[in-house]
């Protein structure tokens, strides 16, 4: 059996021992997990190394890697992709209703960059770290899809 | 318990247009079916495959996905009603439900508006005017201004911080801001005005003193066109985020008989300031000493009406349609009493671990609870795309039991049967809530989410280990499961993957 390892966040997690799984709906990833005393409904979604397990109503992202994938991933982090520009992308589709920054602005971590209206709510997009705005790829009044590039920070 | 059919041998209308979408459209369709009325639905281009469209007798296209050009378009909705030959329009909640201009246009087209008369929508739609009339009728109001807030903010300083800014055209928590100090006022006013302008086309703001700690308690009214008015108990809606309700229950654990009588009397007085019929809800704040203050009267069916239906045994939507057709309320409705305890929780596509931020994507798995005393009002099903144009409410789970402790036990059981895949929901918060000592004890207020939930508890070690186990099992099977890929983009329908998994498992 391949030597897989599960990680949640940055932490390696030992899988629960003595549990078994019974699939209820393959296509949607619905399963029942048993440990002989308790039974819990879960949803598991994903493919490859990236999975999301819904448990007690909470979505838990789990990375599952083989030994080989682990070595490759660690090599990538070691090579240092840390500095460099960050591309800010839309996490949900919506309408850009306001842009608070322009190219050249220095921003602090957590500063409001722009506002996207989605699901009738105004959602602020904030800077993940301090930096200078390289360029803004969208304008107010524009509709953006999930994953659309919004702006770049350096 | 009031029978629905005793004095109504013929359906109140032949055809009714359901001018809404999602769970409330489905709810109105169900009432129509039971009354023998043919339900006709409307849809934007985004909703061609929506559940409500599939359940109606036929559906009229009313425009592109944007709500402003479809569900909020008065001419589009009226034309749809005329095309299909409907005699009445039910607006649901939200969209055009409290729009007096729409109600007038419906009547001008010779159709029946299933809701209070336009004059009532007008009088109570302006929250400031409603505040003035309530005060004149001797109903206590929250201290604050009874005129619109101008650029001169000295009135705010006289009231004393903290204060609450509110939109005159308000509703659904939009345009509301808590302000704790004078230096926050200008910024809060600007953003409240902007939000109110965007949501209602009217950026007028007024101010109330902050009542804290407070509970949000509301009284359900049902009236006919002949002066009959039923007061159908109260609902406690104190579990809120962004001033919007997440959980509602009836009766309120904070209301004793004396307070209840005072609330009902105030609700009757507010209703008497207008020529009321159909349904409405009078909302109050309740402070720690049992004093109540009028907030507003909502002149439509509320999202949480089902809670009242469970404790009274009445079908409020059916009665809305019947009184709209001119039927009087019979004595057993006018004198309806409540029985047991009901709780509703709202299942939203939003992330409670990230400030209840709305999420998008495609619903994958969809398992809703069943069983004794359990009701689900849903507008979605498995493999449905969530549209960013509309409200992220997925479903309402309701339970009814003999008393509050057993209703909470039932709700816990129902939540454990609930499973939604593909999108982030607030289900994890709701499951936490039913074990929270403040909620279970009943002594909670509107600060519960901010103070007790805060950012949400960390994942327990047991759940971490179980999540790791399940993910490892899924990977070992070498399958792709669920409706969404990890980056949130919709995957092609998963059945092919499921079939592959099944074959692999059998071979393995």
Q: How much is the ipTM here?
A: 0.86
| B480 contacts in chain A (CB < 8 Å) | 46-47
Report pLDDT for B55.
97
Would the CB atoms of A47 and B390 count as touching at under 8 Å? no
Q: What is the pLDDT of residue B496?
A: 38
Q: What is the pLDDT of residue B459?
A: 95
Query: How many Cβ atoms from other residues are within 10 Å of residue B475's Cβ?
Result: 24
Mutate to test the interface with B, among A19, A23, A57, A118 (most CBs of B within 10 A): A57
CA–CA gap between residue B150 and residue B206 (Å, rounded): 9
Query: What pLDDT is stored for residue A117 in this prediction?
Result: 81
Question: What phi and psi values does residue B338 have, to the nearest 5 degrees?
Answer: -110, 155
Nearest to A8 among B174, B361, B464 (CB): B464
- Contacts A15 to B, Cβ<8 Å: 465, 468-469, 472
Residues in chain B: 508
Q: Is A60 on the interface with B (CB under 8 A)?
A: yes
As a whole number of angstroms, the distance between CA B44 and CA B86 comes to: 19
Of the residues B348, B462, B481, the best mutation for testing chain A's interface (the one with the most A CB atoms within 10 Å of its CB) is B481
Distance CA B219, CA B442 (A): 19
Distances from the Cα of B42 to the Cα of B30, B58, B63, B80, B102, angstroms: 15, 9, 9, 7, 16
* Intervals of chain A under pLDDT 70: 1-2, 77-83, 120
SS3 (DSSP) at A53: strand
Q: Which residue, B440, B430, B98, is CA-closest to B245?
A: B430
User: What pLDDT is stored for residue B387 in this prediction?
Assistant: 86
Helix B100-108 vs helix B74-84: crossing angle, to nearest 10: 30
Helical H segments across B85-218, by residue range: 100-108, 118-125, 127-136, 154-159, 182-200
Nearest CB to A56 within list B431, B465, B505: B431
Q: Cβ contacts of residue A17 below 8 Å, gap of 6+?
A: none
Q: In chain B, positions 159-178, which contact chain A (CB-CB < 8 Å)? A: 174
Residue A91 pLDDT = 77
- Read off φ and ψ for residue B394, nearest 5 degrees: -95, -45
Dist CA B198 CA A120 (whole Å): 10
According to the model, what pLDDT value does residue B8 have? 59
Q: Would you call B484 an interface residue with chain A, using a CB distance cutoff of 8 Å?
A: yes
- Chain B residues whose beta carbon lies within 8 Å of the beta carbon of residue A41: 367, 416-417, 419
Cβ neighbours around A51 below 10 Å, total? 27
On the question of a cis peptide bond just before residue B162, with omega within 30 degrees of 0, the verdict is yes
Quick check: B198 and A97 CB within 8 A? yes
Which residue ranges of chain B lie beneath pLDDT 70? 1-9, 479, 481-508
- Which pLDDT belongs to residue A145? 83
Give the C-alpha separation, A37 to A31, whole Å: 17
Burial call A20-34: b when 16+ CB within 10 Å, e when fewer: ebebbbbbbbbbebe
For chain B, the farthest-separated pair of C-alpha atoms sits apart, in whole angstroms, at 78
């Amino acid at each position: 059996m391949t030597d897989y390892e599960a990680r949640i966040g940055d932490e390696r997690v030992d899988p629960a021992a003595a549990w078994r799984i019974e699939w209820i709906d393959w296509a949607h990833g619905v399963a029942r997990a048993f440990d002989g005393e308790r039974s819990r409904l879960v949803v598991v979604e994903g493919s490859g190394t990236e999975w999301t397990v819904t448990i007690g109503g909470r979505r838990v992202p789990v990375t599952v890697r083989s030994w080989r994938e682990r070595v490759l991933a660690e090599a990538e982090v070691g090579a240092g992709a840390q500095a460099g520009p960050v591309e800010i992308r839309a996490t949900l589709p919506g309408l850009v209703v306001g842009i608070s920054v322009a190219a050249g602005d220095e921003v602090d971590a957590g500063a409001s960059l722009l506002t996207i209206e989605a699901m009738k709510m105004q959602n602020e997009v904030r800077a993940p770290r301090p930096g200078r705005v390289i360029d803004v790829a969208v304008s107010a009044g524009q509709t953006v899809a999930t994953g659309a590039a919004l702006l770049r920070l350096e | 318990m009031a029978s629905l059919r005793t004095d109504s041998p013929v359906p109140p209308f032949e055809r009714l247009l359901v001018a809404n979408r999602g769970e409330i459209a489905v709810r109105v369709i169900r009432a129509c079916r039971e009354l023998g009325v043919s339900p006709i639905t409307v849809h934007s281009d985004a909703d061609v495959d929506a559940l409500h469209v599939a359940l109606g007798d036929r559906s009229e296209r009313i425009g592109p996905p944007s709500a402003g050009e479809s569900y909020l378009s008065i001419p589009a909705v009226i034309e749809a009603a005329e095309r299909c030959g409907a005699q009445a329009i039910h607006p649901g909640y939200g969209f055009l439900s409290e729009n007096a201009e729409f109600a007038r246009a419906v009547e001008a087209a010779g159709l029946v508006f299933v809701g209070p008369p336009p004059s009532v929508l007008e009088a109570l739609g302006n929250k400031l005017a409603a505040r003035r009339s309530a005060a004149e009728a001797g109903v206590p109001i929250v201290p604050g201004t009874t005129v619109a807030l101008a650029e001169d903010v000295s009135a705010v300083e006289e009231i004393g911080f903290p204060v609450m800014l509110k939109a005159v055209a308000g509703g659904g928590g939009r345009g509301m801001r808590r302000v704790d100090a004078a230096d926050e006022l200008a910024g809060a006013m600007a953003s409240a005005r902007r939000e109110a302008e965007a949501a209602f086309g009217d950026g007028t703001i007024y101010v109330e003193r902050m009542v804290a700690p407070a509970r949000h308690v509301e009284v359900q009214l049902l009236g006919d066109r002949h002066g009959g008015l039923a007061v159908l108990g109260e609902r406690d809606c104190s579990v809120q985020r962004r001033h919007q309700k997440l959980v509602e229950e009836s009766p309120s654990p904070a209301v004793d008989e004396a307070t209840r009588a005072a609330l009902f009397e105030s609700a009757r007085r507010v209703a008497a300031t207008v020529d009321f019929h159909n349904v409405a809800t009078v909302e109050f704040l309740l402070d720690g000493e049992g004093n109540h203050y009028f907030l507003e009267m909502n002149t439509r069916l509320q999202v949480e009406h089902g809670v009242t239906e469970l404790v009274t045994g009445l079908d409020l939507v059916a009665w809305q349609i019947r009184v709209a057709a001119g039927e009087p309320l019979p004595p057993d409705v006018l004198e309806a009493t409540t029985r047991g305890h009901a709780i509703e929780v709202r299942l939203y596509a939003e992330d409670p671990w990230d400030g209840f931020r709305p999420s998008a994507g495609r619903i994958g798995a969809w398992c809703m609870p069943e069983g004794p005393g359990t009701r689900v009002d849903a507008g979605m099903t498995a493999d449905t795309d969530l549209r960013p144009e509309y409200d992220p409410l997925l479903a309402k789970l309701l339970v009814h039991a003999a008393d509050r402790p057993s209703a909470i036990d039932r709700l816990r059981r129902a939540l454990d049967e609930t499973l939604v895949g593909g999108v982030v929901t607030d289900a994890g918060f709701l499951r936490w809530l039913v074990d929270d000592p403040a909620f279970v004890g009943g002594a909670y207020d509107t600060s519960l989410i901010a103070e007790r939930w805060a950012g949400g508890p960390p994942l327990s070690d047991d759940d971490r280990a179980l999540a790791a186990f399940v993910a490892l099992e899924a990977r070992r099977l070498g399958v792709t499961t669920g409706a969404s890929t990890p980056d949130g983009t919709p995957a092609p329908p998963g059945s092919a993957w499921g079939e592959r998994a099944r074959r692999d498992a059998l071979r393995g």
